Amino acid sequence: MTAQSLDTTVVVTGAAVLLPGADTVRALAEGPAVGGAPVEPAAHVGKKGLRYKDRATQLGYALTAAALRDAGLLGADEKDGLSVPATSVGVVASSNFGNLDTVTRALDTIREETVTATSPMDLPNASSNVIASSAAIRYGLRGPNLMVCNGETSGLDAVHWAATMIAAGRTERVLVLGVEPDNEVVRRLLGGGHAVDGGAALVLESGAAADDRSATVRAVLGAYRRGAGESVEGGRRWELPEHLGTASGAHGLLQVAAAVGLFDAGEPGPVQAVTGSRAGDARADLLLLAPRAA
């Protein structure tokens, strides 16, 4: 499959990272500290609205707020709302383990008792799109909404789908979110390994929309490729430190966020993001260009 380029320039105007040992894109690019404290969502968005929400959704709230603020779309107080029309902001979220604990708990309850024993607070959170829909509801993002959970390439696929929405004129900007929680259920699935327990979020916009509001461009999306074979040409590769654990659906978003951190630090670019098996069909590549080099 050949590399794909968009007919419309799509740029990154906001980026946020929340991981144990790294809470900025610069810290991510330089290398998250070993033994960092777990992320506390309430410290970023307050306690209101977090009760009865799974860990992935809580992390998603915190990342969404941070990325929107970084892009200049949301003020310090969430009550002030967006600085752009709500219908102009879509959401694409990526997570493979997101609500696995909730689904497992509900199924265990149904198996051991009956469906009437399930918690009315749990069942709404068992939907596969709960992260994307919850972020949209909380922050009033009324554009297109999509959840991607298709394995290792999920994060970069989410970035690509968001960019495609923008290029197709479906929306002017998209909040792209990648998050994976770490809990007992996830660790069993990973055979004793652990997940990153955090993630990254980006704000993508059309070049025209970013120009209209005089937004700072942090990176420019280059060619994207999905499938087996050689990767898109050029670019330094940034690798996620092994001590952070499995990033899965957040991996692609973390790579793009790290590229933003490198560009912020003066890296001339380009930077290449790669997810999935480098030898197999389950592979995605995306080239990120520094704003001044695009």
**Regarding beta strands 271-276 and 236-237, do their DSSP bridges make them parallel or antiparallel, or are they unpaired?**
parallel
Is residue 57 a contact partner of residue 290, using CB atoms and an 8 Å limit?
no
State mean pLDDT over 1-23. Answer: 87
State mean pLDDT over 208-227. Answer: 94
- CA separation (Å) from 245 to 113, 185, 250, 279, 292? 35, 15, 11, 22, 33
In 167-252, beta strands by DSSP E: 173-180, 198-206, 219-226, 236-237
Q: Which of 55, 290, 67, 26 is nearest to 177 (CA)?
A: 67
Q: Please, what is the average pLDDT of the chain?
A: 89
How many CA atoms does the CB half-sphere of 26 hold within 13 Å? 3
- Name the DSSP letter for residue 230: S
Residue 38: pLDDT above 60? yes
Residue 114: pLDDT above 90? no
Instruction: Tell me the pLDDT band of 1, cut-offs 50, 70 and 90.
Output: very low
How many CA atoms does the CB half-sphere of 109 hold within 13 Å? 14
State the Cα–Cα distance between residues 10 and 234, nearest whole angstrom: 19
- CA separation (Å) from 116 to 53, 103, 107, 223? 20, 15, 12, 50
Instruction: Tell me the pLDDT band of 80, cut-offs 50, 70 and 90.
Output: confident
Q: What is the largest CA-CA distance in the chain?
A: 61
Q: Residue 227: what pLDDT?
A: 78
